[in-house]
């Protein structure tokens, strides 16, 4: 099915199941421990051995010698695999770093060996017996130093009008630099895989957000046909982008299993999760704004510097600035520096998350320079069209309504405009806000739907559920389309033998994957009507039955009385995303308290207002948003990978040293979804909220801290040491 025009008669619009705040159907499995994750497929691999990965102890250089004899002869050891005996390996398209290093070392903790043994303890002990001699080379690990030493690769993004002239002549202007640090995904489940070979065919249970991508990458790396690889990932214990791409656990489990001649499971220890896999790279962002005295922006300039390994990509931190505010003269650019740190890549809301952390402070600084309220300044610069392409309107844009709704609900009118104007005992209290923005992406997605003889529905697609509620919203979609209770729908996900879906990432998963299910259900509806001899025009699927325009009715199961009906289809999106700028919008409001003596910051309350198309399940969507808001608190106040500038690795590479928010850090959170449908997004009229809930939170917190204390911190995270000089002398 090709979606290139909004459907006039759309069965999904009945909204008897879709749009309801239903409990997650996988919840009981997870709360009782019956959901089986990648490392836990004991029934399928009862005799699995254990692989332990050895990571490189240098960040750049060469292995001049590696002695594995002692490890190979250690108790319980079945195999030791290194680049020397692994055979010829291809290079995947989606990883900057080589998954099995040697002799060249590209980054710290790059995998250089896997030891396979009967037990985890034996494998770990044996890995310590491997003797590696390195010849280290000088590496580049400091983004700021690299920026000073070299211009890097310059990537212009937008240039409209004459930014330099408009900025120079603007009566009011700001020119500030902001920084965001390297950050870790820090998901609960580590990267883990279980590999089983049957002849030349590999089955790999792995923790993956993108099953089809993973299957292709494994096949390409091992040099075997894709048809010989089956990748299965029914449950993923968090990913945030870290599991978009195949990592060393999957490859080394496969290589270890082949070498040992039996199933092997591998889980990366937390230090390798942080140093071996991907992370959000640090940025340095310069933002220049020029405005007329009435608040209208006339010049918008946003440049960002980030680093990655050779062949890597920049953090797209300027993306939202291309679309969010009006301004006749605009310029944005990315600059990529070569660094020898672990690979930088996608992390929840890549680009917009760190970009909004800078842009929305800059907007507050300009509002202050103009003497305008921060909300009204943003309203003043709203735009109904893509500012860089005025012929292209937004499919939906309700940013102003988000701002107005949030300001009213949060009590923004009670905010003290002058910093430091409100105090409650030991606490300096402030309010801050920021816009939220994330592009709406769509991706081709397929599904298979079965109608069995008792009227039950089975949905099969390789879509994954990373804790986002995919099982539930897919079941809701099928139930709505075929007119059956939710309990009559079984959903099977995360298996490469199923039709290829969008996968989970980029906030595209829910909308795209359910659209694929919609397409398959439309085909199944047609097959059912043909079996029953009913005309399609006026037919209604409801209450487990089908009724035609003449009033004839039959149980849905009757269509499958001689055997199940199966339909498979794919939803391919037309060019509507080119005719319209598709985006999601929101507003974040935060109140903080800052201890007048210590500078400790406490979040007191948070509000997110989201305009993101039809909300398929308000309960799962709210969970996504409050989780993103919590992640935003971490990014603003505590999350930072500390780089050892001598050795080139992340020092705080565990969940003790890498701080993330805990329950006590998070207060009352409120989420408002505007009642919205976007008919040009998909047949579901939905978009996504999983990343929108993060974009802007950090800046709202920074702006609230400024309102409380007068401390304008432009370097994240905002730790108390950066506030001490602004606190009252008499706390």
CATH number at residue 563: 3.30.365.10
Do 592 and 662 lie in a common domain? yes
What Å distances lie between residue 552 and 54, 526, 532, 548, CA to CA?
A: 68, 16, 10, 6
Taking phi over 0 as left and psi of -120 to 50 as alpha, with beta for the rest, 24 belongs to: beta
| Cα separations in angstroms, 361 against 139, 366, 405, 682 | 33, 9, 21, 34
**287 CB neighbour count, 10 Å cutoff:** 26
Is there a single domain that holds both residue 587 and residue 560?
A: no
The pLDDT of residue 2 is 86
- Is there a domain that residue 655 lies in? yes
Q: Is residue 546 part of a domain?
A: yes
**E strand residue ranges, 118-209:** 131-136, 153-160, 172-180, 192-198, 201-206
- Return the pLDDT at 4: 76
Count CA atoms closer than 13 A to 495's CA, side-chain side. Answer: 10
Could you state, in chain order, the average pLDDT of each consecutive group of 10 residues for the chain (731 residues)? 77 97 97 97 96 98 98 98 97 89 98 98 98 98 97 95 98 98 98 98 98 97 97 98 97 98 98 98 98 98 98 97 97 98 98 98 98 98 94 96 98 97 97 98 96 97 97 98 98 98 96 98 98 96 97 98 97 88 97 97 98 98 98 98 98 97 96 96 96 98 98 98 92 73
The reply to whether omega before 717 is within 30° of 0 (cis) is yes
Tokens describing residue 195: 């590999």
| pLDDT computed for residue 5 by the predictor | 65
Can you say whether the dihedral through the CA atoms of 483, 539, 4, 451 is positive or negative? positive
- For residue 631, the enclosing domain spans 394-440+582-726
Q: Quick one: angle between helices 248-260 and 211-222, nearest 10?
A: 50
Q: Are residues 650 and 702 in the same domain?
A: yes
Domain boundary among 529, 553, 577: 577
Do residues 619 and 571 share a domain? no
pLDDT at residue number 631: 98
Give me 400's structure tokens: 């102003």
Domain final residue pick, 518, 547, 577: 577
- Structural domains counted in the chain: 2
Residues 517 and 488 in one domain: yes
Q: Is the CB of residue 624 less than 8 Å from the CB of residue 690? A: yes
Can you point out the beta strands (E) in 248-317?
264-267, 283-291, 297-308
Does residue 592 form part of some domain? Answer: yes
What pLDDT does 335 receive? Answer: 98
Q: Where do the DSSP E strands lie in 563-719?
A: 565-573, 583-595, 601-611, 643-644, 649-650, 668-673
With respect to residue 561, please indicate whether it lies within any of the assigned structural domains.
yes
Q: Which of 593, 592, 595 is nearest to 426 (CA)?
A: 595
The pLDDT of residue 8: 64
Exposure string over 560-596, b if 16+ CB within 10 A, otherwise e = beeeebbbbbbbbbeebbeebbbbbbbbbbbbbbbbb
Query: Tokens 């009252």 sit at which residue?
Result: 728
Please indicate, yes or no, if residue 447 is contained in any of the structural domains: yes
Last residue of a domain, one of 558, 577, 596: 577
Residue pair 236/30 in contact by the 8 Å Cβ criterion: no
Q: How many CA atoms lie within 13 A of 726 on its CB side?
A: 22
Say how many residues make up the chain. Answer: 731
Pairing of strands 565-573, 445-451: antiparallel
Q: Are residues 447 and 403 in the same domain?
A: no
CA-based radius of gyration for the chain: 27
Same domain, yes or no: 648 and 586: yes
The verdict on residue 110 lying in a domain is no
* Same-domain status, 541 and 572: yes
Secondary structure of residue 374 in the 3-state scheme: helix
Q: Are residues 499 and 418 in the same domain?
A: no
Query: pTM of whole model > 0.85?
Result: yes
614 and 712 assigned to the same domain: yes
Give the angle subtended at the CA of 222 by the CAs of 220 and 223, to the nearest 5°. Answer: 60
User: Are 530 and 626 part of one and the same domain?
Assistant: no
Catalytic residues: 691
Specify if 591 maps to a domain. Answer: yes
Q: Which two tokens stand for residue 211?
A: 């099953």
Would 480 be classed as within a structural domain? yes
**Residue located via tokens 């009906």:** 565
509-532 vs 470-482: helix crossing angle, rounded to 10: 30
Q: Residue 518 and residue 533: Cα distance in Å, rounded?
A: 22
Contact partners, residue 447, CB within 8 Å, separation at least 6: 459, 460, 461, 463, 474, 498, 499, 501, 513, 516, 517, 519, 520, 568, 569
The pLDDT value given to residue 7:
58
Q: Same structural domain for residues 615 and 551?
A: no
């Amino acid at each position: 099915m090709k979606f290139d025009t909004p459907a006039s008669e759309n069965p999904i619009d009945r909204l008897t199941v879709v749009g309801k705040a239903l409990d997650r159907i996988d919840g009981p499995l997870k709360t009782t421990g019956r959901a089986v994750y990648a490392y836990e497929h004991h029934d399928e691999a009862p005799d699995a051995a254990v692989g332990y990965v050895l990571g490189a102890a240098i960040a750049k250089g060469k292995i001049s010698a590696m002695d594995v004899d002692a490890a190979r002869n250690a108790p319980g050891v079945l195999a030791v695999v290194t680049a020397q005996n692994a055979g010829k390996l291809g290079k995947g398209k989606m990883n900057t770093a080589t998954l099995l290093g040697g002799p060249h070392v590209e980054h710290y903790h790059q995998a250089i060996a896997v030891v396979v043994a009967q037990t985890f303890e034996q494998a770990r002990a044996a890995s310590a017996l491997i003797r590696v001699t390195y010849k280290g080379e000088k590496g580049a690990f400091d983004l700021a130093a690299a920026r000073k030493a070299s211009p890097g690769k310059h990537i212009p993004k937008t240039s409209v009008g004459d930014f330099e002239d408009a900025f120079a002549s603007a009566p009011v202007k700001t020119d500030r630099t902001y920084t965001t640090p390297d950050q870790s995904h820090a998901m609960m489940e580590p990267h883990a895989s279980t590999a089983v070979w049957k002849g030349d065919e590999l089955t790999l249970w792995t923790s993956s957000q993108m099953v089809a991508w993973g299957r292709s990458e494994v096949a390409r790396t091992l040099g075997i046909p894709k048809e010989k690889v089956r990748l299965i990932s029914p449950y993923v214990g968090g990913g945030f982008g870290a599991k978009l791409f195949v990592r060393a656990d999957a490859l080394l489990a496969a290589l270890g299993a082949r070498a040992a001649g039996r199933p092997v499971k591998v889980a990366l220890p937390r230090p390798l999760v942080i140093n071996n896999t991907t992370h959000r790279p640090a940025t340095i962002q310069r933002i220049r704004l020029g405005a007329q005295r009435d608040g209208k922006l006339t010049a918008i300039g946003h440049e960002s510097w980030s680093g990655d390994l050779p062949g890597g990509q920049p953090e797209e931190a300027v993306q939202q600035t291309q679309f969010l505010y009006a301004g006749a003269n605009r310029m944005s650019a990315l600059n990529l520096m070569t660094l020898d740190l672990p690979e930088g890549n996608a992390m929840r809301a890549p680009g917009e998350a760190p970009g909004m952390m800078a842009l929305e402070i800059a907007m507050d600084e300009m509002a202050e320079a103009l003497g305008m309220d921060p909300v009204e300044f943003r309203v003043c610069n709203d735009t109904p069209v893509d500012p860089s392409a005025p012929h292209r309107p937004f499919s939906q844009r309700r940013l102003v309504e988000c701002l107005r709704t949030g300001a009213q609900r949060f009590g923004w009118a009670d905010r003290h405009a002058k910093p430091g104007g409100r105090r409650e005992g030991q606490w300096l209290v402030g309010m801050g806000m920021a816009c939220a923005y994330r592009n709406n992406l769509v991706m081709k997605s397929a599904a298979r739907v079965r109608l069995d003889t008792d009227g039950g529905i089975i949905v099969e697609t390789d879509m994954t559920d990373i804790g986002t509620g995919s099982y539930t919203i897919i079941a809701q979609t099928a139930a709505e389309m075929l007119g059956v209770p939710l309990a009559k729908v079984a959903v099977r996900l995360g298996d490469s033998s199923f039709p290829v879906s969008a996968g989970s990432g980029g906030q595209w998963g829910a909308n795209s994957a359910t659209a694929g299910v919609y397409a398959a259900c439309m085909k199944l509806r047609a097959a059912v009507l043909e079996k029953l001899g009913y005309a399609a025009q006026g037919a209604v699927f409801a209450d487990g039955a089908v009724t035609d325009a003449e009033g004839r009715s039959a149980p849905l199961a009757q269509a499958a009385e001689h055997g199940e009906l199966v339909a498979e289809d794919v939803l391919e999106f037309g060019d509507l995303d080119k005719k319209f700028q598709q985006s999601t919008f929101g507003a974040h409001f935060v109140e903080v308290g800052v201890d007048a003596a210590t500078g400790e910051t406490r979040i007191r309350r948070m509000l997110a207002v989201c305009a993101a198309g039809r909300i398929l399940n308000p309960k799962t969507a709210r969970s996504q948003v409050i989780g993103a808001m919590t992640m935003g608190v971490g990014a603003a106040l505590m999350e930072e990978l500390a780089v050892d500038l001598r050795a080139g690795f992340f020092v705080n590479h565990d969940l003790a040293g890498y701080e993330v928010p805990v329950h006590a850090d998070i207060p009352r959170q409120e989420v408002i979804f505007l009642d919205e449908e976007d008919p040009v997004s998909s047949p579901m009229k939905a978009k996504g909220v999983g990343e929108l809930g993060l974009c802007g939170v950090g800046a709202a917190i920074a702006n609230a801290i400024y309102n409380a204390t007068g401390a304008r911190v432009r370097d994240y995270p905002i730790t108390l040491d950066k506030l001490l000089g602004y606190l009252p002398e008499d706390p």
